Structure 1
């Protein structure tokens, strides 16, 4: 159920994409405290994007989860994901926004129903 949707204006090749997906999945599961078998990561590279009037490398992410989020966890996730983006895509942490959604079970669908 934890899901990360990640968009960046940096083109992402297949090898880098695979590394980012694996790293983000592992980090998300560990920090939120949910099994990695429930984690979904969506990565979209080469998305037209401007941040502070500049098209230098930037990214926007959204984390959605049923529970497990909160001020302490969100800060840790923001830091860990920013480190991945900086090391893999050269996106400076000052050019990365992330939004956190803690949703109720009826608002998250899975397997033809809701949680």
Structure 2
């Protein structure tokens, strides 16, 4: 159920074709979960600054049940940052990534929760 949410001041017209699907692959690999369980939401063209400039920047969040922790998050931060630099020109110093490790009872799916599904 990983969900990656990206808010960026990069214009929608500057988002490369196929970016959503490429992002899905990167997140799937980083979090070590199948692509068919990953959701990606991109919010381009945000009115935002970082460090007092309007150069390309972002705030992002990766939510998942598990596969997160101090060492995991460092590696995921590296992979996500490199991808955003390559694809959108967002320097790693201009994006904060919030990692949220959700508990299975906090996520609804199929009319129930993951905790109930996994019992």
TM score, norm. by length of structure 1: 0.91
Equivalence for 2:57: 58
**Structure of larger gyration radius:** 2
Match of 2:101 in 1: 102
**CA distance in structure 2 between the partners assigned to 1:49 and 1:39 by the alignment:** 26
CA distance in 2, matches of 1:15, 1:56: 15
1:68 aligns with 2:67: yes
Structure 2 residue aligned with 1:40: 39
User: CA 1:81 to 1:47, structure 2 compared with 1: closer, same or farther past 3 Å?
Assistant: same
CA contact (8 A) 2:6 2:58 kept: yes
Cα distance in 2 for residues equivalent to 1:83 and 1:20: 14
For the aligned residue pairs, the C-alpha RMSD in angstroms reads 1.5
State the alpha-carbon separation in 2 of the partners of residues 76 and 22 from structure 1: 21
1:9 aligns with 2:9: yes
Residue 117 of structure 2 aligns with which residue? none
- Whether the 8 Å CA contact 2:9–2:47 is kept in 1: the answer is yes
Distance 2:15 2:46 in 1: 18
1:43-68 CA distances to partner (integer Å, 9 max, x unpaired)?
Answer: 01001111111111101100000001
- Where structure 2 has 5 or more consecutive residues not aligned to the other structure, the ranges are 115-119
Q: How far apart are the structure 2 equivalents of 1:49 and 1:111? A: 36
Aligned length: 114
| 1:15 to partner: Cα distance | 6.2
Instruction: Tell me, in whole angstroms, the C-alpha distance in 1 between the residues paired with 2:52 and 2:30.
Output: 33
